Amino acid sequence: MKKKIAILGSTGSIGKTLIDILKKDKKNFEIVLLSANKNIQELEKQANLFKVKNLIVTDKKNYLKIKSLRKLKKKKIFNDFSSIDKILKDKVDYVMSSISGLEGLSPTINIIKYTKKIAIANKEAIICGWNIIQNELNKNKTEFIPIDSEHFSIDYALKKNGQKNIESIFLTASGGPLKDLPLNKFKSVKINDALKHPNWKMGKKISIDSATMMNKVFEIIEAHKIFNISYKKLKILIHPKSYVHAIIKFNDGMIKIIAHDTSMTIPIHNSIYYDNKNSLKTKNLNIKILNNLNLSKVDYNKFPLVKIISKLTNVNSLFETVIVAANDELVNHFLNKKIRFIDLSYKLLKFISMNEFKKYKKIKPKNIKSIEKLNKYVRFKINNISI
């Protein structure tokens, strides 16, 4: 019997990687739902290739456009994620949640009850709404798999060891395109400079987050929540080649190093074939890189946003939503040439240190609405105050 799959955000990089994997094994999988925001050309190709009956297009203009296509008349096309209740009547085998941004929070939480297993590649959903996600996972007995290469590596390494014996977990960061740039040159960093990631092909937002190291801050927050590990045990190491993704030191003296090629195909492939291993052809072990890992500590002068980790408490709170929303809006300002690259870090640190927002460290997210409401308010404040 074919395994039934739903993909939220199928036209993004994660979604397209998953589609490429499924192409090679179409006889064993049936895609029952695909979703996109604007890229209806790619969505149409995917839908026709896998004969998908249900599509969600969240952008209104593109929804109307794809609805008008005669060759898609037999497909059911919806405009928002509330239609998930109409589409999925029974649990599917696997859901990939790869919608970027906080827009992915609500559909991620709402689809959990309709799947046996959910792979989540949406940072914001985990960072801002983990306690809500966890409640839904437990209530519906849904298995969760993290897709970020770092968290998948940690999860993979902990399968037999558990979490009680951990002394430290190190997440690696490439250092991004500005790692070797002298600090006095940061004032003149242009958009194209910050977008030139040395190892990964990513969207603009995550590329800028990588250049400021904010992406690694987010991954530390995710690791804390997913694995219920104190921030004191989570550390960052610069590893320019992005070959090693996580290092775990145990209390018994043992150390696990998890490495794989700089390809998201590996964690995504393994998330699908988690229980029934299917071989994946990859490159040979790169001894040259292993002989020169070139690991180093983070330069806090170049990457001051890493200091945010020390401001975090070990409880789920709405403060994480403040950080996510403020950073997102400031990155938009940088990409729209309203602020300099160096201002991005300075303004974010100053903003989240305001008394008005520090109080959210003591407030736990109760529901999706509380997160969405705060997200809108933080963005409003960023655009209407001088910092």
What digits encode the pLDDT tens for the residues 191-204? 999 998 888 777 89
Average pLDDT across the chain, whole number? 93
Q: Where in the chain is the domain with CATH 3.40.50.720?
A: 3-147
Q: Has residue 276 got a pLDDT over 80?
A: no
Cβ–Cβ under 8 Å, residues 177 and 186: no
- Alpha carbon dihedral 152, 148, 259, 159, in 10-degree steps, equals -10
pLDDT reported for residue 199: 81
* CATH classification code of 3-147: 3.40.50.720
Structure tokens at 88: 């999925």
What digits encode the pLDDT tens for the residues 123-139? 999 999 999 999 999 99
Per mean pLDDT, which range of 39-53, 60-74, 218-232 is the poorest?
60-74
Measured distance CA(195)–CA(200) in Å, rounded: 10
What digits encode the pLDDT tens for the residues 327-357? 999 999 999 999 999 999 999 999 999 999 9
Q: What percent of the chain is predicted at pLDDT more than 70?
A: 98
- Polymer length of the chain: 387
pLDDT-based confidence at residue 277 (cuts at 50, 70, 90): low
Other beta carbons within 10 angstroms of residue 205's beta carbon come to 16
Eight-state DSSP code of residue 119:
E
Fold of 317-387: Rna Polymerase Sigma Factor; Chain: A (1.10.1740)
Cβ–Cβ under 8 Å, residues 256 and 244: no
Cβ–Cβ under 8 Å, residues 140 and 113: yes
pLDDT reported for residue 226: 96
pLDDT reported for residue 160: 62
Measured distance CA(40)–CA(37) in Å, rounded: 8
Q: List CB contacts of 137: < 8 A, sequence separation 6 or more.
A: 112, 118, 143, 144
Q: Where in the chain is the domain with CATH 1.10.1740?
A: 317-387
Structure tokens at 99: 């919608």
Q: Has residue 275 got a pLDDT over 90?
A: no
